[in-house]
Structure 1
Amino acid sequence: DYDVLVTTTIIETGVDIPNVNTLIVHDADRMGLAQLYQLRGRVGRSNRVAYAYFMYQRDKVLTDVAEQRLQAIKEFTELGSGFKIAMRDLSIRGAGNLLGAQQHGFIDSVGFDLYSQMLQEAIAERQTGVKKEEKPDIEILLSVDAYIPDVYIPDGYQKIQMYKRIKAMDQVEEYGEIMEELQDRFGDLPIETERLLRIARMKVWGLGTGVFSVKEKQKIITILLSEEGTGQVDGGKIVEESMKFERAVG
């Protein structure tokens, strides 16, 4: 009465059997979240109601990671859950909160800003086969929280789009435009998001004046100029203004 296909996880790579409406995965706790998501997608490929059962041994004590993976696959069942699954997988693997303040792992080593740029360039290079010419960029490392909180923009997709807008800022006028758009759509800016915009504006200013990096360490700000920027500035004027600031804060 029933046709049964017994297979290894190779089935996750794709199979088109529209009549299949039930999937049973054995020892699901041993598989990765992406595997579980792909396996679940093998059923429900027609207008029939489908069922996916992820099984593990009775009375087995699951590891924290395995339990989190199974909980995630149970939680995200609606259409378009792929992005949420990917974000949860990053979190379980220890990549940190990609869109928040808590960063660790490899993302912490490069920062979200640079990570987004690297990802975009890698995709473009793969699609065109031509490596994009690198644009000058400024490294800004300040001991402040600068991000978009979840309570301000809860939707992950909208948050990514806004991060991209801020990252692409190349004119000072865009600072006011983006701020007005954020206030209009989501309300008053949290201090963390306001700092994020200010840092983006600092990069625009820096690119126009030959600044190479701005770094803060133990409450000391170091501004490094590029070779071209060094030749354009008035060194005497910088020293003069620095002395005024030193006396003012001293």
Structure 2
Amino acid sequence: RGRVGRERHQAYAYLLIPGEEVLSETARKRLLAIEELSDLGAGFKLAARDMEIRGAGNILGDAQSGHISAVGFDLYCKLMEETVKELKGEPPEESIEPSMRLSMKGYIPKEYISDLNQRLDIYKRIDMLERVEDVGRLKDELLDRYGSMPEPVDVLLSTVELKILSKNLKIEKVDMSGDIITLTFNKGTPISAERIMEFVKKDKRGIRFLSEDTIQLSISNGNWRKRYADIKNNLQVLFTAC
């Protein structure tokens, strides 16, 4: 992990046991799992295998143990959290997945992360990010593990930042066309119409209402980084108005 065994430097770990005769059946299964899942990017599979070996407890009934690998650990925990809230009678929170139509497409090139399992793991982690600060931490991790990020990865993470801010504001759609950005709000947005009106009046770049839930504004007519930064700044200003 970290600076041990990264990039071109191979690292090895030797695990010593007192003897097979003293191992329990559970210990044997765990060692076998480590032996089978030794390839790069197998950490999640190993964690899931361990969960199945020892069981995940009886949180919502005995049928749940062993099903974690079917959906993934993070999604499994999220589903559990939602189910517990439902059982407590708490109202479900409406989930908004903003549609992002931007000028650039982000992805992880195989030249940057060659191992497919590792790429899929990073995609899965990106999909579960819920805070802008978490995106920054993931950027630092990628820089440390794989080196300087190519532009498509930078675009991907910048898009995720915009999506997180949009989701917090319950914006259903972010549509970029040249130097014009259109924001469509869900009716459950935490920003009142009065706050949006104040934002429109203070801004000098020609924000206008297209409908009661859609506004349009001008952004920097520079490269994609400048335009994304301008969108992010506007979303952050709106967020502070909540």
Range class of TM-score, shorter chain:
0.3 to 0.5
For normalisation by structure 2, the TM-score amounts to: 0.44
> Highest relative contact order (Cα 8 Å, sep 6+), 1 or 2?
2
